[in-house]
Structure 1
């Protein structure tokens, strides 16, 4: 609720912004006194509402009072930010300051306006205090919400419950041999009923995979772009057009599909118009191809095809509902302990009844219970607080209840998801860094803000409010998304308090005039410069489309400028001195490095500079002067000179991530940079770099857990990594060698860090089989070896029983292998195996004994042994496979 934002804003202003303002003018008694009075008033209000996070706001007058206080907090934040922006950095002594103010009429005028603004705010505070007394707003809610207990539950999705009969019916429609025409099969039902889950279950069935191969899955959403959909289909088909013309892409898709039997999934369709547009692209060759649609709207399904009636997905029955609920509420047990008729079981049944068989409601409510103390009193208190009546909005109400139980900081973080378009796959690390830049994350002992933000995201996942779409090998979240129904809640809550607003079309700008954060979900044309936007106090601008004219200098207190998708063209490089987070994507700043660099150099608060997808040359002359930097992520291109690493003259003690910087010539003469807290490091080493200097840099780093080295690095790393201080703690090692092709790599025991989880060896050639050494890395989950195919002698590799105990993904590319033996018992956890262009190596028959294997991608230069393939597929019917041979490889 809104009271959570209030607690955060007031606490931040009282403890940070106001304190700074007082220090700026500690000798100007009038202003100092006014600010101190304001701070004291805020403290009293904060004390009054401090317990609001543990209670419900149940009356409209209470909610309105809280909104009034939030407006005041925003006014204070604006005044203080402008104050810190306008006032001089250093003021002389008392007499000198007075003389300076007299001489500088503009500054004196500003100070007067600031003092007047403070007095107005004080008057407004007195008004709302009187309002509270007049209307007897003496408490902000009723019963206290039970506080969550610590949870160490692993991140993961529950098993699919129910849908067995529904799945079988849909599979029958998809595989109907009597119907050879291209046909649409539709799943219809309200949000939260499990349409997408059922569709995935059907597509993963062995019968469907054997018939169609890998389905082409396209998420559509309420606002879609036809060109984006066509481009995504094109990517699935591995055809690439250099032209962005929709007609040409459509022709490529038609040609790629006309010779195959295909299954395309259009998930979350909202309009009948879409099928009319897509149908023109799909060939009907009378081979039984299918399109599977999920939608909330029956007319969308009926308008697509009338061959089969739309499949109206029923809700889960009582037994299935209880199973799914307990799966989340009581993990690892799936049932309440004790007699089935005990009090907790009865409460569980009552909770389930409120969900009306909606899977999303059951999962979210069960996840909430898993965070609540496991006793009758806590469960019953929560049940009694759910006093809403049957209105047909049970799913929305349950999700709102789960939201109410979040801490105030987590509510703000959840509201931030409103910025992203429907079904958008969100990269986790940039999201977490934006939370930190927005100062949404509280300080916790023995944790960095980034570590706390990661815990917040994991907690939202465990509460089933956020879904994980992809994980890193170490188990951390790489990409996530939110269900449409949950996103709607985030949008609603963010809008209530002007926390964040979304612009989906040009006319939306007017209603965003008071928003603190704005997300733009459409492309701005040449005639619509964003600098005309009236809200000069916006804190974040997030772009999800092409933006041709962006004059960010108009936004004087901007903290976050993020280009998430599309092309962003900045109109100029100036202004926005409060900027803490800058992400530019698909923008070329080549030939504008000086202008861009001079702007960055003036950023006094900049924490994240993300230019991974931008084209630029060396920026080292400017960016290292921003001493507040925490994350510097630059781009690497063989065509451009990479940015040199930071010189020894700068102090970057806050730096945690440093990506794609070049070995600096200054290190040899002036010493190494002061970057002791770096945890993620990617460095480019050329042949003229003295190995002793690069090694000395690594000698001084104790916190590194992810290390990437590009260039002439074999001798540097592999022969000496054991002596570096991060040797025991290193989790990810990427060694991308670009030296002479004659260089070979000989691995031996103890050479690589023992606790590696992810290892990539790029452009490496081996004299001996590397597997006997690599298979002893007991924590290794991801291994990718890329050769150069320049070596004449072929390898014989062997994986022994008991080796690679934790390995889940193995990729071998461009190695010269003539034989591969796998002993039974090797790689027991392997899920994904890709072997591509590795000479004449044949598929080992022992692959059938890799019981965890789910994906097999094998492309070789010799004809397949189809007897072996047949045996493997017979033993492993659920295996997804892709086989080919090409003598030209």
Structure 2
């Protein structure tokens, strides 16, 4: 049943160091009850060969199986199919996965024993058991933040009896115990208080229903301000890895986070998310190096409970292929999430909608007469050229819009002239990985002439802007001008394609003026591939004390590319340099940044041959990434350098030998390319890495 820990156990196997060495190719797929075989095959293929995802046109369905067998037959692979519900799925996949007798494996988790037996009739499936009483009590007391004694079995005697009743009623199910423990952690540590919790439940015989009761209580007990934040997670697809930043910005756009008072809205929303995590209603997938949640998800059973609540309260309407059109036609849709073609009468009540989230939808066209009150519009992985879904004129009429996200989409070319100035309430614009969908048949040179222009001039006229992400696609926005109102801007991530040196000087001057006015700017990322980044434009960054994250992608001017401390923000915690082509060792400057915790020197950021990290340098650095610095042949690490470094990545430094890592005793995780990984295992290098608990081989790298 759900909640026993099948996925958790499979993840521990999947991520173990021993298996990482054994399986160069590892793929994780979350299946669930709704699946499309061709999409799964495509995801497996893209996981094996990531570059194929960028190909246009995409691989045809009839060629998928042939291509996949071709690529997998050359590798020893581990494929995890998590939460399989159908015997037919495995039957559809097994003929495509080649068995080259090289110890490749497929690992399946499922709630249905017949699926497990059908997958491998010659072996006995591993069935997870429920916890025993002592294990359940230990877990419950741990989550309730109550000491259990050194031996692990010494419990609070005054709470023992009621705790045993609670664990028994939870059917010794880990998920139910974890959530219940989080509830008890906020109650008095008395028998009467815990007994009142026990009496709250309408206990049933079936373990699944008991778990549902616990989950429902955890929602009922949420403070008023957290309930809409939690219910918003029901709008994401099952097993979807949710970006903490994205959901926080959606909460703010919806008005769930109070304005005014101490701290920014983002800081308040972050506290909301942390409380949901503490209550075990949301699970952390990845953490940032600062310890904050980076991505998260909700358990299937928690999501099912949330969907029941959003439907009962008409908080969100979730459309999937199995949904009954009639069920929704009578409702006034306030918020909608679509993963399929919507009902034919979807536009009837759309004038009430405040949010619209589209995830990999089928081709359709929205009712242009509706959705005028939208505050949140989020679309992911859609080709607008093949799906006439959103029109420019309709988009410009969404005057209440606060969050606009087109992530990894192909948008119509007419969008280059969107009048953002009409969207006076806009706070977030996220076009990460989005490109123009070029009309078929246009000349290639005309396409490049389009690319050389700048668009979205009116974007910077919106005074409420807080976050702007437009990069990793071919949407090249203009830089802000000197008079643009940008005092609320916190995040700016832009890609540029300037082709004239005079233009880049003007743009850097605009950036300088913008930095002067953007007193709340925290994160800045600039990409310029066609012409050099001018160093004089960056000299103004040092006075900007609020910038914590900085990424600069592009070659610097040759006569000005000597790095000095005055060019960088004083409170910088994260720095990424790509393609800078610095000729002098940057470490002597960067190691003096007192707050720097993450440093990434990628792809020709340094073209010299020697790096030196001196004693006392990088006092707070925790993670260092050196990637594709092809000329570096020597790295001198003096004793006492990088006293807090715990994670190091070295990839494609072909001239480099294993550096003196014994001088970094705090190092715990080391990731190396194939060349360094092989020589690090030689006896003469053993003393350099013997203190490192995890040494992994990297097969590929994606910026």
Q: Deviations over 1:663-708 (max 9, x none)?
A: 99xxxxxxxxxxxxxxxxxxx9953238666434423433222222
Q: Which residue of 2 aligns with 1:882?
A: 697
Matched, 1:472 2:292: no
Q: Give the 3 Å change call, closer, same or farther, for CA 339–502 of structure 1 in structure 2.
A: closer
Distance 1:238-1:279 versus aligned 2 partners, 3 A rule: same
Once the two structures are overlaid, the 10-residue window that deviates more, 217-226 or 327-336, is 327-336
Distance 2:18 2:460 in 1: 57
Aligned equivalent of 2:494: 660
Does residue 611 (structure 1) correspond to residue 392 (structure 2)? The answer is: no
Counterparts in 2 of 1:873 and 1:739: CA distance versus 1, 3 Å: closer
Counterpart for residue 447 of structure 2: none
What does residue 40 of structure 1 align with? none
CA distance in 2 between counterparts of 1:211 and 1:408 reads: 49
Aligned to 2:418: 597
Please give the alpha-carbon distance, in whole angstroms, between the structure 1 residues aligned to 2:348 and 2:270: 33
Secondary structure class of the residue paired with 1:311: coil
- Going from structure 1 to structure 2, the CA distance change for 1:535 and 1:318 (only over 3 Å counts) comes to same
Equivalence for 2:548:
731
Match of residue 517 from structure 1: 335
The secondary structure found in structure 2 opposite 1:550 is coil
| Residue pair 2:533, 2:557 contacting (<8 A) in 1 also | no
Q: Which residue of 1 aligns with 2:95?
A: 280
Q: Could you say which residue in structure 1 is the equivalent of 2:523?
A: 706
Structure 1 counterpart of 2:213: 397
Deviation at 1:202? Answer: 2.5
Aligned equivalent of 1:677: none
Give the aligned partner of residue 68 of structure 1: none
Contact 1:221 1:269 in 2 (8 A): yes
Instruction: Give the secondary-structure state (helix, strand or coil) at the position aligned to 1:398.
Output: helix
CA distance in 1, matches of 2:676, 2:458: 50
1:846 corresponds, among 658, 661, 680, to: 661
Secondary structure class of the residue paired with 2:518: coil
TM-superposed deviation, 1:401:
1.2
Cα RMSD for the two superposed structures: 3.7
The Cα of 1:318 is off from its aligned counterpart by: 2.1
The answer as to whether partners of 1:530 and 1:549 remain within 8 angstroms in 2 is no
Structure 2 residue 236 is the aligned partner of structure 1 residue 236:
no
Between Structure 1 and Structure 2, whose CA radius of gyration is higher? 1
SS at match of 1:324: helix
Shift, 1:274, TM fit = 1.0
Choose the corresponding residue for 2:649, options 828, 834, 837: 834
* Native 8 Å contact 2:455 2:476 kept in 1: no
Q: Supply the distance in 2 between the matched residues of 1:334 and 1:252 (Cα, whole angstroms).
A: 57
Residues 786-831 of structure 1: per-residue CA shift (max 9 Å, x gap): 253884x522434647755441342333252111233566546545
- Structure 2 residues without counterparts, runs of 5 or longer: 437-452
In structure 2, distance between residues paired with 1:289 and 1:662: 44
1:208 has 2:19 as partner: yes
| 1:364–1:398 CA contact under 8 A, matched in 2 | yes
**Residue 745 in structure 1 maps to residue 565 in structure 2:** no
| Partner secondary structure for residue 129 of structure 2 | coil
1:148-547 mapped onto 2 (5 Å cutoff): 190-213=1-24, 215-238=26-49, 240-241=51-52, 242=55, 243-330=58-145, 340-344=155-159, 346-374=161-189, 378-386=193-201, 388-392=203-207, 393-443=209-259, 445-505=261-321, 508-513=324-329, 514=331, 515-522=333-340, 532-533=347-348, 535-546=350-361, 547=363
Give the distance between the partners of 1:345 and 1:507, measured in 2 at CA: 46
Residues 324 and 362, structure 1, Cα contact 8 Å, conserved in 2 = yes
Q: Aligned partners of 2:592, 2:606: CA distance in 1, in Å?
A: 28
Shift of 1:282: 1.1
Contact 1:795–1:819 (8 Å) recurs in 2? yes
Deviation sequence 1:520-545 (CA, Å, 0-9, x none): 11257xxx877655544232221112
Q: Could you tell me which residue of structure 2 aligns to residue 559 of structure 1?
A: 375
C-alpha displacement of 1:407: 1.3
Report the 3-state secondary structure (helix = DSSP H, G, I; strand = E; otherwise coil) of the residue aligned with 1:220: strand
- Structure-1 separation of matches of 2:475 and 2:390: 24
1:622 aligns with 2:458: yes
| 1:624–1:342 distance in 2 versus 1, CA, 3 Å | same
- 1:323, 1:363 → 2: CA distance? 11
What is the CA distance between 1:839 and its match in structure 2? 4.4
Change over 3 Å in CA distance of 1:809–1:225 after alignment to 2: farther
The alignment partner of 2:431 has SS state of strand
Q: Summarize deviations over 1:482-505 as a string: whole Å, max 9, x none.
A: 110100011000011211121112
Flag structure 1 segments of 5+ consecutive residues without an equivalent: 1-189, 665-683
8 Å CA contact retained: 2:481, 2:510: no
Total equivalences in the alignment = 665
Task: Measure the CA separation in 1 of the matches of 2:125 and 2:206.
Answer: 26
TM superposition shift of 1:340 = 4.0
Output aligned runs, 1:121-132, within 5 Å.
Answer: none
**CA offsets, 1:528-582, max 9 Å, x none?**
8776555442322211123442234323333322213433443532244433332
Offset of residue 437 of structure 1: 2.2
Cα contact 1:860–1:884 (8 A) shared by 2? no
Q: Does 1:759 align with 2:575?
A: yes
Quote the offset at 1:399 in angstroms.
1.1
Instruction: Name the CA distance, whole Å, in 2 between partners of 1:876 and 1:246.
Output: 49
Q: Which of 477, 493, 498 pairs up with 1:642?
A: 477
Distance 1:862 1:329 in 2: 44
From 389, 405, 409, the counterpart of 1:583 = 405
Change (3 A) 1:238 1:447: same
Deviation at 1:431, TM superposition (A): 1.6
Q: Classify 1:293/1:739 alpha carbon distance in 2 versus 1 (closer, same or farther; 3 Å).
A: same
